[in-house]
Amino acid sequence: ETGVTQSPTHLIKTRGQQVTLRCSSQSGHNTVSWYQQALGQGPQFIFQYYREEENGRGNFPPRFSGLQFPNYSSELNVNALELDDSALYLCASSSFDRVGELFFGEGSRLTVL
């Protein structure tokens, strides 16, 4: 148990729709990172939020956006869904001064039809 919770756990959308995924970070952590994990692949870094500001972004288009709230929880929004967006979306919380020590939730499985 990492204390990181994600919702929903599973969801199905159709192409062109929009989705919002939510993450509650572990107590005491001020940083949230989002990853996309396609089937059979390693997690790909989407972006990171620190103190409500985006603090680094991977190679994902602008239709992937996020928010971090004052309680350090976070949302990942994806607009104009494409079939290739089908994946497990992982949220990881961390303390900004603890390099690389990520605590992951169990993920949100998104299927785009």
Nearest approach in angstroms of CB 4 to other proteins is: 7
* Rounded Cα–Cα distance for residues 6 and 23 (Å): 5
Contact 63, 79 (CB under 8 A): yes
Out of 49, 105, 110, 112, the only residue in the binding site for other proteins (CB under 8 A) is 105
Nearest approach in angstroms of CB 11 to other proteins is: 17
Region of 16-24, 39-47, 69-77, 79-87 interacting with other proteins (CB under 8 A): 39-47
Nearest approach in angstroms of CB 12 to other proteins is: 19
* Rounded Cα–Cα distance for residues 25 and 53 (Å): 15
Region of 12-20, 60-68, 71-79, 103-111 interacting with other proteins (CB under 8 A): 103-111
Contact 34, 89 (CB under 8 A): yes
* Rounded Cα–Cα distance for residues 52 and 36 (Å): 20
* Rounded Cα–Cα distance for residues 18 and 14 (Å): 9
Binding site for other proteins (CB under 8 A): 2, 4, 33, 35, 41-45, 48, 56, 58, 90, 92, 99-107
